[in-house]
Amino acid sequence: MSVSGLKAELKFLESIFDPNHERFRILDWKPDELSCQFNVTGDQLLIIHCNLTESYPLTPPIWCVESDDPSLTRVLERLEDVRKSSTLLLQQLKRLICDLCRLYNLPQHPDVEMLDQPLPAGPLHPDRKLGTTDEVTSEEEEEEEMGEDIDLEHYEMKEEEPVDGKKSEDDGIEKENLAVLEKIRKNQRQDHLNGAVSGSVQASDRLMKELREIYRSQSYKNGIYSVELVNDSLYEWHVKLRTVDPDSPLHSDLQVLKEKEGMDYILLNFSYKDNFPFDPPFVRVVSPVLSGGYVLGGGALCMELLTKQGWSSAYSIESVIMQINATLVKGKARVQFGANKAGTHRPKRTARAQRPHMDRASSDGHLSVPAFHLSSLVLIRATLSDTSLSPA
């Protein structure tokens, strides 16, 4: 979507949910970020943030809320069910407001129905709230309310009966990827019978869900990235970033790399602990050797998103992959041709790379990191010295 198209969506939202709205308020917006407030009661306000990547709507919005309430985490996770729409942000926001009203036993606000209207063709007048001049008969109002009730019942049924089972779970997944999922399930059953269970039930269930969502994702199907399990382990993935911003120096470097070495992707290693998703994955760049882009020696990524302080269990792995892609470009990552014979970050540095990234931030300002805080998910552009970033 063009920047102008996204701005039209955001302005449309602001015209409906202004900062004085009784239920839901748009506090601030930029082309890549939306800050909102949900009014539960006069004293209880939920602050909600939405991050939009450059590939929106191909990549869905990333939502987070300033709360550790697991009920809110589940509300955000259900937004993944809303996928296909030319105005994906509006439809996810409609679902979010409806679900929050249900969660707190609040009446559904009528302004939510405006999110189904087509975007206005012309500029919005700041003094006119959209939809107020529309005359709707009582019969039409009843039909809308009935339609809303039906939608809500559908959502509730979906929660109560997620088991339409494999059919709904595996919908939209290619046969070869279904085979991978089935192989994982068989391995897990065999490990259980042999008494050699690894990982935790919680982490395994979430990782299966993440893998299933990735296999359904348009970004994955369009070849923006690919995922392979290392030795069929659910707890270690190889992720290949195959598409980066075509206007970036990194894209040019990858084209040269393809000509020289036949490789035109960035290989990342994702490893997960037993307490995932409450702890972030550890991610490192394996190859090629990169400098800049907040990549440290050994390939570790200096991103607060990947630390306990900046991580949220509500984040999806696909959103992490897309944020890493954007961070490498914004941080001006470059391929270091001829850095070593193997063309990979040195494995012996992996142990050192796994030390908490925040410990590497010095008080004299020599190293600062891009912060993806739970409260904002805004990339803070940092200046890093060449010596700090160059692989030794």
Q: Which two tokens stand for residue 119?
A: 């975007």
The verdict on whether 302 is a catalytic residue reads: yes
CB 79 within 8 A of CB 95: yes
| Domains defined along the chain, listed by start | 3-160 (3.10.110), 166-384 (3.10.110.10)
**Helix (H, G, I), strand (E, B), or coil: what is residue 344?**
coil
Rounded Cα–Cα distance for residues 245 and 108 (Å) = 41
Q: Which two tokens stand for residue 40?
A: 């539960």
How does pLDDT run across 59-113, given as a tens digit for each residue?
A: 788 888 887 788 888 888 888 888 766 778 889 999 999 999 999 999 988 888 8
DSSP state at residue 4: H
pLDDT at 246: 92
Q: What is the pTM of this model?
A: 0.53
**Helix (H, G, I), strand (E, B), or coil: what is residue 248?**
coil
Query: What is the rounded radius of gyration, in angstroms, for the C-alpha atoms of the chain?
Result: 23
**Helix (H, G, I), strand (E, B), or coil: what is residue 147?**
helix
Q: Which of 83-87, 101-105, 185-189, 324-328 has the lowest mean pLDDT?
A: 83-87
Residue type, 111: D
Give me the catalytic one of 36, 50, 101, 302.
Answer: 302
More confident residue, 344 or 386: 344
pLDDT at 71: 87
Q: What is the percentage of the chain residues whose pLDDT exceeds 70?
A: 72
Torsion angles phi and psi, residue 320, rounded to 5:
-65, -45
pLDDT at 234: 94
144 pLDDT more than 80:
no
Residue type, 386: D
CA–chain centroid gap for 193, Å, is 36
Q: What's the number of CA atoms in the CB half-sphere (13 Å) around residue 244?
A: 28
Q: Per-residue confidence at 220, pLDDT binned at 50, 70, 90?
A: very high
Q: Which of 145-154, 165-174, 232-241 has the lowest mean pLDDT?
A: 145-154
How does pLDDT run across 287-303, given as a tens digit for each residue?
A: 999 999 889 878 888 88
Which H helix or E strand runs over 215? Answer: helix 201-216
Is the backbone of residue 377 left (phi > 0), alpha (psi -120 to 50) or beta? Answer: left
CB 63 within 8 A of CB 71: no
